[in-house]
Amino acid sequence: MSRPVIGVTCYVEPAKFTVWDMPTALLPYMYVDHIARAGGQPVILPPAGEPAALVERLDALIIAGGGDIDPARYGSAPAPQTGYVRKFRDEAEFGLMNAALAAGLPFLGICRGLQVLNVTLGGTLIQHLPDAVGHTAHSPAPGTFGRLPVRLSPALAKIYDDEDLTPAHYHHQAIDRLADGLEVTARSDDGTIEAVEVTGAPFALAVQWHPEADEDGPLFHAMVAAARRFAAAR
């Protein structure tokens, strides 16, 4: 059986590689590796042109981690700690998200991807989580993942084969008002929403942590399996 096509969004940031130093469309290779090892064919989707038009050619979509969403999209002014806002990426990914939801495309949101899903459906965000929870364990230091336990819903626990998980975290924002049509499927001990799914969708879920940072990839395997089912039903 051919590999299902998994589109995954990416950053556009300054980067150094070999002899070059220039703006680059880039994605941590951990995403690519997990998709390929799960049996999918990764295709990177830069925030340029009309990526939403590609949804009909994909079997699943991942919206990857990244900088903060422009708070104007959920009716707020930016907090002092809000940063790395890339409005061109917002425009591309919100278009992709709307198109994927309309098509019933299997979807996995990771970190920023969870926030894009929530805001697309009318929710809001906490712009700086330490101000709300009183600690920095969700993002302990620049470029350093934190390990924070989360409790999974029965549905998400089936994917991980466990109700308790201590995944890699790197986020200073999180869901504030949960959008209509979303169900919470994981929380950390401080009450932060750590995972959601779209009610009634065959496979449309998002996690606030970074599953690509771990060796095992049950979420990627579940997504690729959903992509195969979606492709077969076309």
Domain encompassing residue 81: 5-233
Separation CA 183–CA 145 (nearest Å) = 26
What amino acid positions are annotated as catalytic residues?
A: 111, 210, 212
Strands (E), the chain: 5-9, 11-17, 20-26, 41-45, 60-63, 107-110, 125-126, 146-147, 150-152, 164-165, 168-169, 174-175, 182-188, 193-198, 204-207
Distances (CA, A) of 89 to 16, 96, 123: 21, 10, 19
pLDDT surpasses 70 at 195: yes
Please write the tens of the pLDDT for every residue from 111-161.
999 999 999 999 999 999 999 999 999 999 999 999 999 999 999 999 999
Mean pLDDT of 94-113: 98
The total number of structural domains in the chain stands at 1
CA 108 – CA 204 distance, rounded (Å)? 6
Which contiguous run of DSSP H or E holds residue 140?
Answer: none
CATH number of domain containing 92: 3.40.50.880
* Residues in the chain, overall count: 234
Q: Locate 172 and state its tokens.
A: 């200073």
Surface-to-core class of residue 107, CB atoms within 10 Å of its CB (0-12 exposed, 13-18 middle, 19+ buried):
buried
In tens, the pLDDT along 37-53 reads: 999 999 999 999 999 99
Instruction: Quickly tell me which residue has 């470029």 as its tokens.
Output: 143
Tally: H helices and E strands in the chain: 6, 15
